[in-house]
């Protein structure tokens, strides 16, 4: 038997509880993992509370888009009993049972080894948010971005991806301009490494398709008018890594920045990246993340605290990262 956050749906009403399950209830998979830590992300909170759209695609569901733990059973030669592994994405917590549980059974292709020099707690403090931010930075660097090129814009700066993007860019000596709707959090963003703070309202309304060149590149987790305005103000031959849609899925722009300035829009899909890219991203996270700053923005809870914390997260009452010790 093991404990898990369990979501079911009856007569269009969500039933959410921390409950005991038998391993016979686990879905098919060729690797079973004893989970040590998971996280509580915004998407997990949406699934648990039923707010913000249909995250869960099948019921019953165990939410949790991240986990780290040790292999307890394996039918795949790449993993043996006792190996530490990480999982991010692949639809777990949405289509497949996820990490807010003491046990998971998954496809071996979804796993990567926990980097040797990383603590399990830190892996989950980073989670999908930090991993996605690193994928965005790597994409910009492959495009040719260097600190000498000039300022880099980060939108959605107070969100998980935005916060990590600021810290990762600053660690590589980029000058970061952070866009946020919570200007009262300016000192927090500066502590992460932002050199300048701007009000998100300067980007979130309709703007001209081509604007004064301001930034060498951007990491955008917002979409909609914010992404369009970011593209309109990127310097010639610069690039925008688009990795989120907090404002919306629409992109009310024109081809002007792409043709007249030669900028590039780089789509970041963190869910189904191949193993080699995941390992590269996590290897960089080992070296680029300041664990002292990570500890300062991380709050640890137990599995029994998840449901209450999910409602707090949806209400905007949570700042920083929530790591879930599933065994307490």
Domain spanning 2-114+297-325: which superfamily?
Medium-chain alcohol dehydrogenases, catalytic domain (3.90.180.10)
Tokens of 140: 């910009």
Q: What is the pLDDT of residue 24?
A: 94
**Given this model, what pLDDT does residue 99 score?**
98
* Backbone phi and psi for residue 147, each to the nearest 5 degrees, phi listed first: -60, -30
Q: What's the N-to-C CA distance of the chain in angstroms?
A: 15
Q: Residue 37 is encoded by which pair of tokens?
A: 């830590």
Name the H helices within the chain: 42-49, 120-143, 160-171, 186-192, 201-204, 224-232, 256-260, 275-288, 291-296, 306-314
Whole-number pLDDT of residue 296: 83
Helix-helix angle 120-143:275-288, to 10 degrees:
110
Q: In Å, how far are 4, 114, 131, 227 from 92, measured between CA atoms? A: 14, 18, 16, 28
**pLDDT on residue 200:** 96
* CA–CA distance, 272 with 258 (Å, rounded to integer): 27
- Every domain of the chain and the residues it spans: 2-114+297-325, 128-267
- The first and second tokens of residue 210, run together, are 């081509």
- Extract the tokens encoding 155: 């939108």
What is the C-alpha separation between 298 and 12, in angstroms, rounded? 35
Task: Give the pLDDT confidence score for residue 10 in this predicted structure.
Answer: 85
Give the pLDDT score at 318: 77
Per-residue pLDDT 10s for the chain (328 aa) are 999 999 999 888 899 999 999 999 999 999 999 999 999 998 999 999 998 677 898 999 999 999 999 999 999 999 999 999 999 999 999 999 999 999 999 999 999 999 999 999 999 999 999 999 999 999 999 999 999 999 999 999 988 899 999 999 999 999 999 999 989 989 999 999 999 999 999 999 999 999 999 999 999 999 999 999 999 999 999 999 999 998 999 999 999 999 999 999 999 999 999 999 999 999 999 999 999 889 888 999 999 999 999 999 888 777 779 999 999 9
Same fold, 2-114+297-325 and 128-267: no
- Report the pLDDT value the prediction gives residue 255, as an integer from 0 to 100: 97
User: Is the preceding peptide bond at 60 cis, omega within 30 degrees of 0?
Assistant: yes
Superfamily of domain 128-267: NAD(P)-binding Rossmann-like Domain (3.40.50.720)
* Gap between the Cα atoms of 4 and 70, Å rounded: 17
pLDDT of residue 52: 66
Nearest to 66 by CA among 39, 84, 27, 101: 39
Query: Residues 1, 22: contact at Cβ < 8 Å?
Result: yes
């Amino acid at each position: 038997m093991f404990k898990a956050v369990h979501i079911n749906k009856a007569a269009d009403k969500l039933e959410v509880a921390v409950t005991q399950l038998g391993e016979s209830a686990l879905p098919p998979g060729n690797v079973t993992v004893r989970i040590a830590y998971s996280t509580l992300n915004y998407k997990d909170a949406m699934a648990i509370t039923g707010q913000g759209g249909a995250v869960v695609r099948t019921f019953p569901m165990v939410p949790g888009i991240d986990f780290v733990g040790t292999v307890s059973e394996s039918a795949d030669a790449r993993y043996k009993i006792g190996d530490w592994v990480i999982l991010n994405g692949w639809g777990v917590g949405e289509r497949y049972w996820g990490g807010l549980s003491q046990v998971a059974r998954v496809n071996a292709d979804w796993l990567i080894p926990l980097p040797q020099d990383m603590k399990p707690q830190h892996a989950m403090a980073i989670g999908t948010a930090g991993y996605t931010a690193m994928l965005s930075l790597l994409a910009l660097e492959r495009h040719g971005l260097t600190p000498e090129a000039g300022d880099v814009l980060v939108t959605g700066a107070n969100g998980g991806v935005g916060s990590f993007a600021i810290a990762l860019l600053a660690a590589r000596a980029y000058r970061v301009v952070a866009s946020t709707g919570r200007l009262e959090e300016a000192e927090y963003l500066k502590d992460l490494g932002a050199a300048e703070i701007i009000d998100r309202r300067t980007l979130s309304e309709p703007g001209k398709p081509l604007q004064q060149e301001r930034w060498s590149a951007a990491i955008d987790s917002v979409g909609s008018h914010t992404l369009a305005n970011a593209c309109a103000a990127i310097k010639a031959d610069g690039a925008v890594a688009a990795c989120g849609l907090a404002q919306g899925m629409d992109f009310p722009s024109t081809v002007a920045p792409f043709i007249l300035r030669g900028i590039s829009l780089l789509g970041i899909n963190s869910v189904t990246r191949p193993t080699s890219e995941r390992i590269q991203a996590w290897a960089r996270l080992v070296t680029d993340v300041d664990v002292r700053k990570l500890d300062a923005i991380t709050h640890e809870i137990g599995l029994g605290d998840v449901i209450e914390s999910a409602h707090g997260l949806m209400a905007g009452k949570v700042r920083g990262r929530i790591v879930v010790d599933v065994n307490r």
